[in-house]
């Protein structure tokens, strides 16, 4: 070992002994090792040197003048509290050893021992000093970081008791750091979020790292949304020891997301109402006008004595009107199927599937087990539009020969799935700028507090699954 090996600087030793010959011998030994040695022969010289510059190790003679009752050791502890002290004695005794223990000295060595033993203990003391300094520097950097970032740094025990919090906890949750210590993490979590947090803790025990969002009760009683990165620390035996957390306040973001969700739901409601109005106007006005014209032409044909060419023209007009009436009815169903309002979701879906099968010549099976009294108009409309959009996507992209649709309501949840055996799709398709269909499905479900999952395997089809709370 050299004095510069770990620290990158020459280590300083204060060697104090009132015997000049012994002090010079030991000083020469230390200097050959590469240490910078400052000698002293009495307590006043020791204190004068300790005031002028820092040292890495103090090596003191037990009986040196000025060190009566080891007062010099206590004075050095006051001046440079983190520097280890090695005490030298010509005659070891139980009282002197007990004093060394009382003062928490680094070592207590008899002068008659091999000087190499003293040198090895000084080497160890230097390493100890360097490690302690690195630890203090690291703690200082961590504390500076923790005390000046906006995120909240917290440490919890494995059972959820707060052990530490950075000062920013005062800004985010209103607690003083010392007041926060000892609080149970689970007691602060919003009751609706506790189950999710418990599930996240199970994942944490397996993976060691999670990111979780939940509401925490502030000191004022209001709830704050926090996004928290949690790292699990284990002890030497692998048992969970501490949870180190970094949390940021996302209340503003969550509130903005909720306002956007409410706006999206409102816009969807407005859009559906407009579709319903247009559908009725087309059916009641344009549809009736076309039907009346068709009837009038039929009457004219029955009473007309004109030539064959005119009658043929009238028959063509009647056929065009029939096609127009059919197109109007088809457009009305696409805008807003009357069956959805008059007969319910199951009948509306049955009509949708029948029309789709006729147009696409593809097998499509509908399996429905619903308690429609539990379904609000918003849920019925959302499910109908999702199935409609899914079938449109199958027609355009899937190249499938079979589609299976399942809808089941049970308790407080509606589950649905639409699956095909087509070519599958790129799971990143939802992120593409023009993928409005898939985005629309997800927005409809999320606006109702539900979840949507899309699974696709190239060459094996696509499956869309969703849940909606009732």
Model confidence pLDDT, tens digit, residues 293-325: 888 888 888 777 777 778 788 888 888 888 888
Stretch 144-149: mean pLDDT, rounded? 69
Name the CATH superfamily for 12-145. Response regulator (3.40.50.2300)
Per-residue confidence (pLDDT) for residue 269, from 0 to 100: 77
Tell me if domain 149-249 and domain 340-470 are identical in fold: no
Q: How confident is the model at residue 49 (pLDDT cuts 50, 70, 90)?
A: very high
Closest CA to 87 of 76, 74, 100: 100
Give percent above pLDDT 70 in the chain: 92
| Partners of 85 in the β-ladder | 58
Write the pLDDT tens digit of every residue in 22-44: 889 989 999 998 899 999 999 89
Per-residue confidence (pLDDT) for residue 91, from 0 to 100: 65
Write the pLDDT tens digit of every residue in 261-305: 778 778 877 877 787 778 777 777 777 888 888 888 888 887 777
**Residue 416 contacts residue 428 (beta carbons within 8 Å):** no
CATH class, domain 340-470, is alpha beta
Per-residue confidence (pLDDT) for residue 291, from 0 to 100: 81
Q: How far apart are CA 81 and CA 193, in angstroms?
A: 48
Q: Is 454 helix (H, G, I), strand (E, B) or coil?
A: strand
Q: Which two tokens stand for residue 77?
A: 């502890």
- Statement: residue 95 has pLDDT above 70: no
Q: How confident is the model at residue 96 (pLDDT cuts 50, 70, 90)?
A: low
Stretch 190-207: mean pLDDT, rounded? 93
Distances (CA, A) of 428 to 396, 399, 431, 435: 18, 19, 6, 10
Q: Which two tokens stand for residue 329?
A: 């009815």
Q: How confident is the model at residue 433 (pLDDT cuts 50, 70, 90)?
A: very low
Check residue 8 and report its DSSP letter. Answer: S
- Statement: residue 218 has pLDDT above 90: yes
- Statement: residue 167 has pLDDT above 60: yes
Q: Which two tokens stand for residue 284?
A: 């009641």
Stretch 193-221: mean pLDDT, rounded? 93
Write the pLDDT tens digit of every residue in 416-426: 999 999 888 76
The CATH architecture assigned to 149-249 reads: 2-Layer Sandwich (3.30)
In this prediction the pTM is 0.54
Give percent above pLDDT 90 in the chain: 33
**Residue 412 contacts residue 469 (beta carbons within 8 Å):** yes
Q: Where are the domains of the chain?
A: 12-145, 149-249, 255-336, 340-470
Closest CA to 130 of 248, 250, 12, 305: 12
Per-residue confidence (pLDDT) for residue 408, from 0 to 100: 92
Q: How far apart are CA 31 and CA 125, in angstroms?
A: 16
Average pLDDT, the chain: 84
Q: How far apart are CA 264 and CA 270, in angstroms?
A: 10
**Residue 82 contacts residue 89 (beta carbons within 8 Å):** no
């Amino acid at each position: 070992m050299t004095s510069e090996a770990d620290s990158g600087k020459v280590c300083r030793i204060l060697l104090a002994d009132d015997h000049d010959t012994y002090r010079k011998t030991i000083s020469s030994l230390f200097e050959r090792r590469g240490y910078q040695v400052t000698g002293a022969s009495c307590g006043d010289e020791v204190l004068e040197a300790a005031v002028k510059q820092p040292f890495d190790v103090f090596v003191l003679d037990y009986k040196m003048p000025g060190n009566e009752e080891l007062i010099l050791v206590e004075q050095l502890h006051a001046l440079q509290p983190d520097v280890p002290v090695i005490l030298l004695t010509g005659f070891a005794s139980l009282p002197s050893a007990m004093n060394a223990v009382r003062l928490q000295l680094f070592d207590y060595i008899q002068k008659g021992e091999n000087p190499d033993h003293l040198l090895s203990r000084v080497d160890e003391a230097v390493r100890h000093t360097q490690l302690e300094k690195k630890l203090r520097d690291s703690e200082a950097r961590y504390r500076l970081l923790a005390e000046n970032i906006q995120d909240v740094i917290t440490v919890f025990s494995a059972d959820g008791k707060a052990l530490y919090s950075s000062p920013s906890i005062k800004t985010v949750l209103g607690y003083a750091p010392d007041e926060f210590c000892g609080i149970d993490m689970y007691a602060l979590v919003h009751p609706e979020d506790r189950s999710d947090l418990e599930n996240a803790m199970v994942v944490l025990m397996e993976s060691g790292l999670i990111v979780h969002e939940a509401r925490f009760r502030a000191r004022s009683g209001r709830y704050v949304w926090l996004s928290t990165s949690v790292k699990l620390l284990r002890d030497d035996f692998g048992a969970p020891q501490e949870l180190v957390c970094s949390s940021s306040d996302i209340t503003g973001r969550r509130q903005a997301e909720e306002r956007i969700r409410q706006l999206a739901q409102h816009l969807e409601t407005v859009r559906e109402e407009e579709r319903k109005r247009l559908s009725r106007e087309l059916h009641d006005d344009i549809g009736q006008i076309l039907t009346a014209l068709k009837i009038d032409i039929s009457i004219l044909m029955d009473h007309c004595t004109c030539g064959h060419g005119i009658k043929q023209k009238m028959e063509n007009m009647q056929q065009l009107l029939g096609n127009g009436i059919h197109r109007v009815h088809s457009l009305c169903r696409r805008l807003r199927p009357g069956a959805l309002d008059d007969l319910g979701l199951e009948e509306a879906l049955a009509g949708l599937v029948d029309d789709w099968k006729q147009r696409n010549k593809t097998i499509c099976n509908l399996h429905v087990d619903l308690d429609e009294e539990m379904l609000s108009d918003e849920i019925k409309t959302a499910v109908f539009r999702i199935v409609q959009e899914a079938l449109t996507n199958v027609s355009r992209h899937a190249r499938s020969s079979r589609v299976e649709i399942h809808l089941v309501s049970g308790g407080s949840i509606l589950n649905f799935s639409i699956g095909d055996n087509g070519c599958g799709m790129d799971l990143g398709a939802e992120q593409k700028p023009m993928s409005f269909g898939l985005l629309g499905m997800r927005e409809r479900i999320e606006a109702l507090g539900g979840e949507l999952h899309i699974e696709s395997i190239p060459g094996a089809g696509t499956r869309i699954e969703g849940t909606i709370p009732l």
